[in-house]
Structure 1
Amino acid sequence: MIQFIFGLVIGLGFFFWKQRQINKQLNNVLHSLSNFEQIPSLSKISQVRRSVNLLNEDYNLLLAERDLFKHILNTVPFGYLRIDADNHLIECNTQAKKILSIQRWNPKKSRFFLELVRSYELDQLIQQARKTGYKLSIKWDFFPTSNYILDDTNVNDDIESYEPIFLKAIALPVINDQVIIIIENRQVIKDLSHKRDQAYTDLSHELRTPLTSMSLLAQTLIKHNDNKNKMWAEQIYQEINRLINLVENWLKIAQLDGNPYTNLQWQKLDLQQLIISAWQSLAILAEQEQISLEYQGLENILIGADLNCLTQVFVNLFDNSIKHTDCDGLITVNVTQSKENKSQIIIDVIDNGNGFNPKDLPHIFERLYRGDKSRARTSREGSGLGLSIVKQIINAHGGSIKAQNHPTTQGAWFQISLPKNISMTEN
């Protein structure tokens, strides 16, 4: 009897100890499920069962949202990719596969992005976005390739190339050094733009001959008319020549677009002398407005360039500054070597005029674009091609140009960068 009572006590003790452990575990589970509202009237097991059911419902809802998100990504008209910190492609929608010719990609098998998409430009964009932590974008001609995967370790070396596609890519750095890439196919826009430009070019070719004939006729009228009629003939002659200049400018842009490097007549030039010469061609206009030029920076700089084209660059820039600078104004040209890249020469053209309207800045170099006319100090109107020609010529020389308002003078600030492979300093 005593043994039975002793065993019963031990059994009851073990039962209550076990029950306490279970209650403790249930309390821990309920604490971890504290996001769900608890009902004290229910037993702890019922409360846990209810919370688990709610958790399961949330899980199923998340799965449904994930499937919806994947469906949306696969139907949107742009490409979507996600690259991990080791440059493996871990997510890719249908449109990205189509645009970038990604074939036989398997998200369960880890493969490097460059193994699937052979684009140096896109790879550099990913690296820069990850390094800087900022959203970056590029536009470039992508050459699709056929990169069929033969097996788990080999990539087919027989790569078939296709026609280039003009793309725009946006890189968004996210958590854990991952990068999201958004790809937009802009080939249709580029084709339409090319057709539009070709139409303008064809029209310009057709207009050049009759305009030249009209100019000669106007000259003849000037010679054979009295003073009263001569005034009208001279005005007609000026307007015809303005149209001729517009046609020639457009044809020059079209020529630089076609094959810019071979269309240039390369020779060794003194940069400072070229700039001064360009200014002297506008000396009459500058003297009328009492505007002066100041040259600063490096001297005896020899560059390999096209004399006529590069002269036109500075003539157009100076003419733009004269139009927007008040009397007794100053235009400064400062030539320096890039601090970030020793192989670059920087040319700053700065005036103290009324600067650019902020809304015009993104369109400054677009063809036929004219900014706010109320900001021009003179009544002389341009063709809307001057700054576009400047950009085309600078690009053809392997350089770049950007426009902004100078923080000190509040006037226009053009910054030209030319690579050192076409520039040399002579001691």
Structure 2
Amino acid sequence: MTIFAYLLGLATGVLLLVWQRGRQRYREQRLLGTLKATDWPTALGQVEQMVQTQPQQQRQLRSLGTSRDTLERILQTAPIGYLQVDEENQLIWCNEQANRLLKMNQPLAGPVRRRRLLLEVARSYELDALIEETREKQTCCQREWMLYQISPDPLHPKEEPTYPLRGYALPLEGGEVGVFLENRQEAALLVQQRDRWTSDVAHELKTPLTSIRLVAETLQPRVDDGQRRWLDRLINETIRLSNLVEDLLNLSRLQGDQFRGLTLEPVDLPQLVQRAWVSLEPLAQVKGLTLTYEGPSRYLVNLDETLFHRVLLNLIDNAIKHSPSQATILVRLNLPPQPVRDGDGEADAITLEVLDMGSGFSAKDLPYIFDRFYRADPSRSRSDPLVDLPPMDPVVATELSRGTGLGLAIVSQIVEAHNGTITAANHPELGGGWLQLQLPVTALVE
């Protein structure tokens, strides 16, 4: 019996030893497989290398953590707002400036404790639309809007400040979107002050310039021929300054509170083009220019006739100044295939093109063509020097050579008031300056 018990214990011990060694061998094989080694010397070398690189990896982790903290401090103290939302438009991070700009009343800036929809904490649908646009396009997007504060208590409403905002949104990983917010109130005030100052100066200059011109024209027939050229030059410069003042006043009338709105009425657009050409034909005849019109002979559009006549005058005048002698100015009216808006709210547009046969715009000028006081490259504005032209009336010479840098700015402002757009380019085939004006189909007379 004793021997049997001894043999049973020995067998049990052998079985346990075999099971432990098999399990140890299985663990060794798993470890070798994890380390992707075929034998123990290679595996031990890899383990030794991992032990040696562990301090370096810890330093890198600490460095990354420090960099993250630094970036977070920078965003917290930045003079512009920053916020971040997840794929469901829940606010996950914002700095103090964004908290202040959007009146979100978050308890702490930085990572928010409880995620809430952005529209719950910031009632700005334009901001929400900007985020959705960025997420759909997966590219940086920008938008400007006026932020109107909504009083949380309808029974005791109070006046909240309203100011313009500009948002720059960028797509992040996992459907998240980050948005930088900029308060544009100061820039808007500077623009208003500039426009007010310009308008005041223009009003003050108008009367003395008119007086100077009247005096010069009165003296003109009373001086001899040798001195008359100086009076002619004085009259020309006075006319140029008067045109500049008038352009400034027109811009002021089209902007801000001074703009009284459009007086829309059915206007025959081709006939309006012909009237503008007749007004400028004396200038065109000096250079031997002709007008070619392509489009329907009659087409009614709802326009402010006085303002749009000014648009056509400025566009054709610009083409006259930049065309070489004996050239043709092309005006083309392209109609939409059908005057019906589609279901997406987009519609075909009426397109009016004005093309000159000059040297075209330079690449550096194109982004600034419609800016105030911007003067294009002199090589374009002097494509046909006045010295090569026959003798002409001083007023005509002044009109040909003048260029205040405001004509296309006025055109852009009037077109924008009509809910249209205007672009400048060089024609791909003819190479001349190519101005394309588009009006929405809503301007059609039904």
Q: Could you say if the C-alpha distance between residues 242 and 165 of structure 1 is closer, same or farther in structure 2, counting changes exceeding 3 Å? A: same
TM-score by length of structure 1 reads 0.84
Q: Could you say if the C-alpha distance between residues 127 and 353 of structure 1 is closer, same or farther in structure 2, counting changes exceeding 3 Å? A: farther
Find the counterpart in structure 1 of residue 299 from structure 2: 301
Q: Could you say if the C-alpha distance between residues 179 and 321 of structure 1 is closer, same or farther in structure 2, counting changes exceeding 3 Å? A: farther
Q: Determine whether 1:321 maps to 2:341.
A: no
Amino acid at match of 1:361: L
Show CA shifts across 1:353-378 (max 9, x none): 22211111221111111111122214
1:143 corresponds to which of 148, 151, 165: 148
Say which is worse superposed, 304-313 or 229-238, in terms of deviation.
229-238
Residue 256 (structure 1) shift: 0.9
Q: How does 1:4-19 map to 2 (within 5 A)?
A: 4-19=9-24
Find the counterpart in structure 1 of residue 352 from structure 2: 347
Higher Rg of the two aligned structures: 2
Q: Determine whether 1:389 maps to 2:387.
A: no
Give distance in 2, aligned partners of 1:134 and 1:208: 49
Show CA shifts across 1:313-333 (max 9, x none): 111111112222223233232
Q: Determine whether 1:402 maps to 2:400.
A: no
Find the counterpart in structure 2 of residue 102 from structure 1: 104
8 Å CA contact 2:146–2:163 kept in 1: the answer is yes
Find the counterpart in structure 1 of residue 330 from structure 2: 331
**Structure 2 stretches lacking a partner, 5+ long:** 1-5, 386-400
CA RMSD, Structure 1 to Structure 2 (Å) = 3.2
Q: Could you say if the C-alpha distance between residues 320 and 72 of structure 1 is closer, same or farther in structure 2, counting changes exceeding 3 Å? A: same
Find the counterpart in structure 1 of residue 444 from structure 2: 424
Residue 146 (structure 1) shift: 6.0
8 Å CA contact 1:354–1:411 kept in 2: the answer is yes
| Equivalent position SS for 2:12 | helix
1:288 corresponds to which of 265, 280, 286: 286
Q: Could you say if the C-alpha distance between residues 27 and 306 of structure 1 is closer, same or farther in structure 2, counting changes exceeding 3 Å? A: same
8 Å CA contact 2:420–2:440 kept in 1: the answer is yes
Find the counterpart in structure 1 of residue 178 from structure 2: 180
Give distance in 2, aligned partners of 1:347 and 1:55: 65
Q: Could you say if the C-alpha distance between residues 85 and 254 of structure 1 is closer, same or farther in structure 2, counting changes exceeding 3 Å? A: same
Find the counterpart in structure 1 of residue 74 from structure 2: 72
Q: How does 1:21-420 map to 2 (within 5 A)?
A: 21-27=26-32, 30=35, 58-104=60-106, 107-145=112-150, 162-259=160-257, 262-298=260-296, 300-327=298-325, 328-337=327-336, 341-342=346-347, 344-376=349-381, 377-379=383-385, 380-420=401-441
8 Å CA contact 1:329–1:353 kept in 2: the answer is no
Give distance in 2, aligned partners of 1:297 and 1:83: 51
Residue 390 (structure 1) shift: 0.8
| Equivalent position SS for 1:128 | helix
8 Å CA contact 1:274–1:311 kept in 2: the answer is yes
Residue 343 (structure 1) shift: 6.0
8 Å CA contact 1:80–1:183 kept in 2: the answer is yes
Identity, in percent, stands at 34
Residue 73 (structure 1) shift: 1.6
State how many pairs are aligned.
412
Residue 194 (structure 1) shift: 2.5
**Structure 1 stretches lacking a partner, 5+ long:** 33-37, 148-154
Give distance in 2, aligned partners of 1:60 and 1:414: 58
Give distance in 1, aligned partners of 2:204 and 2:165: 33
8 Å CA contact 1:338–1:344 kept in 2: the answer is no
8 Å CA contact 2:300–2:445 kept in 1: the answer is yes
8 Å CA contact 1:101–1:145 kept in 2: the answer is no
Say which is worse superposed, 339-348 or 285-294, in terms of deviation.
339-348
8 Å CA contact 2:99–2:106 kept in 1: the answer is no
